[in-house]
Structure 1
């Protein structure tokens, strides 16, 4: 196993950083209403978010194995753990003031910190033991979930239902299992001398160097990119004026409900956009948002929706 830093790991971590940044920028644009992408609710977006989180946790396990399989380097481990824990606390504080009750109580950094503590002993244990541990932790929510874990005290376990939602929630179960899987795969790669062969990958071209740079500084990029993106998108709202977030949310939710019935994405999206425009033309859009349970307003909304569903170009006939 070469003693030098593996470029392929920095490259992989850098690509994960790029994916993460793209996801967060999309989330910000959706949050401020510039786009109607269902970043927070869409199934494909959730899968993407899970893949990104899983890649960081997996690579954390790989790094643990490479750093400590010959013996735990306690000083280096303690320093890394303290930095990640401090960064996790900073994220919680910052999101509390930004998002209120939906702030990050136990997000990706919290999970990486605690998963590292859990996985550290397995860097010295046999491969089959680590694989078994990864399987157990990954499947805990399937057979160990209980109402006894509900509420905030046990939210870190992932075995109950938290009392509040969160803009980022990555509990130990099942996610620590991904870190353990990273330890196991790295151990297997060492035994098969795959790391020796992968050490030949240097990625010296401009894209490779950029990705490796991001990978080497992934924590700093993580802490800085989202405040920067959020601030830029917020500043854009000041330049272009208020974006109708309610209208975008209506179109997004209406389209999902429509597709569950009709299964035609383009027709549903056009009909839902037509409905919003018709309600605005009728002068009842604001009243509907202020009092969405008013029967007469909902009846008008349903009538317009039916018209738009039958003819998405109905607005051309509006005065």
Structure 2
């Protein structure tokens, strides 16, 4: 993978022609979708409301559209963070807090190594890669990262997907509880939200690699003209909304369902 041009370091989303609102808008759309998804989940699985359409492939695609968007945008934001390692560490601390709270609340399966853990881990890894100038940059590295994401997508289920060929991963990797964070869930591992480092680091790095070129060459003019105040506001406060939305949804469903 190519080294990142040093001119791409420590830029700000308010630099160049102004704040690049497309990231806030896209994140805002993903947040709205996430709240709706979790609302449906709470109704279907916790309040036992009949939602026959909320299952199977439709549910999987909806879930993936949310998490993949979050991780891709987080990867894009790698260049805009003053210190990815510090930010990643804070996210890991938050993810541990979420694990403690969901364990104590016992409303559903506790969240171990969820999306916040994943973004924190990816942030630390990208920070280290940036420090040694090995952060992927450009279209070809982005394509490679995305292919690696697809190849390793079913690692948690014990396989690698090589086109029309499926390769089994040695079972010994799944016989220990210490590799669940990486993508090899142990024999008794359970989580209400599971996003390990593999494969999702590769989706994160896809965003990182793709954004390096516009940062170096400049974004198209239309990017700066996009504007949607409500979605921008939601996108800028995505982490706060993530933390509080599920408790609020649980309260609402308990009161009105």
Q: TM-score when scaled to structure 1? A: 0.63
Q: Deviations over 1:161-186 (max 9, x none)?
A: 55233211111111111101101111
Give 1:134 shift: 4.6
- After TM superposition, the structure 1 = structure 2 runs for residues 40-189 of structure 1, keeping only pairs within 5 Å, are 41-65=55-79, 67=80, 73-74=82-83, 77-99=84-106, 102-120=109-127, 121=129, 124-127=135-138, 128-129=140-141, 131-140=143-152, 141=155, 142=160, 143=167, 145-150=169-174, 151-160=176-185, 162-189=187-214
Q: Tell whether the 8 Å contact from 1:60 to 1:112 is kept in structure 2 after alignment.
A: yes
Q: Deviations over 1:112-151 (max 9, x none)?
A: 1101222332575542445434533542331573312214
Give 1:31 shift: 2.2
Q: Tell whether the 8 Å contact from 1:6 to 1:199 is kept in structure 2 after alignment.
A: yes
Q: What residue ranges of structure 1 are gaps of 5+ in the alignment? A: 238-319
* 1:153 counterpart SS class: helix
1:30 and 2:55 are equivalent in the alignment: no
Q: Tell whether the 8 Å contact from 1:21 to 1:225 is kept in structure 2 after alignment.
A: yes
Q: Tell whether the 8 Å contact from 2:33 to 2:66 is kept in structure 1 after alignment.
A: yes
Give 1:191 shift: 4.6
Task: Identify if the C-alpha distance between structure 1 residues 179 and 144 changes in structure 2 by more than 3 Å, giving closer, same or farther.
Answer: farther
* 1:19 counterpart SS class: helix
Counterpart position of 1:201: 225
Q: Which has the higher contact order (CA 8 A, sep 6+)?
A: 2
Task: Identify if the C-alpha distance between structure 1 residues 105 and 130 changes in structure 2 by more than 3 Å, giving closer, same or farther.
Answer: same
Match of residue 210, structure 1, among 230, 236, 240: 230
Match of residue 222, structure 1, among 242, 246, 250: 242
Task: Identify if the C-alpha distance between structure 1 residues 8 and 235 changes in structure 2 by more than 3 Å, giving closer, same or farther.
Answer: same
Tell me the C-alpha RMSD between the 2 structures.
2.6
1:233 and 2:253 are equivalent in the alignment: yes
Count of aligned pairs: 225
**For the residues of structure 2 that align with 1:202 and 1:8, how far apart are their CA atoms?**
6
Give 1:94 shift: 1.5
Q: What residue ranges of structure 2 are gaps of 5+ in the alignment? A: 1-14, 161-166
Task: Identify if the C-alpha distance between structure 1 residues 101 and 32 changes in structure 2 by more than 3 Å, giving closer, same or farther.
Answer: closer
Q: Tell whether the 8 Å contact from 2:75 to 2:205 is kept in structure 1 after alignment.
A: yes
